[in-house]
Amino acid sequence: MIFMVDLRELYLLLKEHWGHLSWWPAESAFEVAVGAILTQRTAWRNVESAIMRLKEKQAMHPDGILGIPEFELADMLRCCGFYRQKSTYLRDFCRFLVSEFEGDIEKMNAMGVEDARQALLLVRGIGQETADSILLYACGVSTFVIDEYTRRIVSRIERTEKPGYLVLKRRFESELPPDINIYRQFHALLVELGKGYCKSKPECRGCPAFTVCLTAGASVEREQRVAQK
DNA sequence: GGCCAGGTCAAAG
DNA sequence: CTTTGACATGGC
């Protein structure tokens, strides 16, 4: 007997609890993509200050970033962590945009979703989650983003091993209507849930989302590790 | 001071 | 093919 959570139901539950989240604010599609790379394993507030620095330099476009000396760019990204790595990732991505799309990320929309995804995955520093984030949040393509929270939440609810990225992605896409606004909101809500915010707020106690949140918070993983010893 | 943050890559088993 | 270690700073 395998229990499968109803993803539409979960979405409605979370939406009712948190309402509409204004996620991933940015002034351009390119800025979203930059954020997608910089936020890898990094708190968003640290990404924001790096983005501000790039904007102050009037460099929030591919040529602008490529015009910054390598060591200087790395230094500007210091606050995001992994800054040497990320500066090369960002430069590689900009070179990719310049050579394939004349520096205009909007032109990527002319490709099919799968082609664009494959093309992005060939860029160093862009893995599945970052590729899907760029497609969904920057390009407005209805492709679902899976992150570590999502995999953990589903595996906890269903008491199974963590599913593979593509398997879970395809499942979300087949169980939900292909609506970019739902995809964007749902992923954002899963991140909120995964952070365990609900669990830490007394006023949430008793609400249905709280029950899900109890098993979804980041700290649970550590508790499990400790319990195993 | 320890843990966590909107992952990815290359090397090793 | 899966697992593991490196990458690194900032806030709570």
Q: Which nucleotides of C are covered by protein (CB under 7 A)?
A: 7-11
CB A46 within 8 A of CB A80: yes
Rounded to whole angstroms, the distance from the CA of residue A40 to the C1' of nucleotide B1 is 24
One pLDDT digit (tens) per residue for chain A, 229 residues: 678 899 999 999 999 999 999 899 999 999 999 999 999 999 999 999 999 999 999 999 999 999 999 999 999 999 999 999 999 999 999 999 999 999 999 999 999 999 999 999 999 999 999 999 999 999 999 999 999 999 999 988 888 888 999 999 999 999 999 999 999 999 999 999 998 877 778 888 888 888 888 777 666 666 555 555 4
Separation of alpha carbons A84 and A217, rounded Å: 31
Nucleotide nearest to A80 (CA to C1'): C9
Interhelix angle A83-101/A29-38, rounded to 10 degrees, is 150
What domains are defined for chain A? 1-229 (1.10.340.30)
Nucleotide nearest to A40 (CA to C1'): B7
CB A187 within 8 A of CB A148: no
Q: What is the DSSP letter of A102?
A: T
Rounded to whole angstroms, the distance from the CA of residue A87 to the C1' of nucleotide B6 is 19
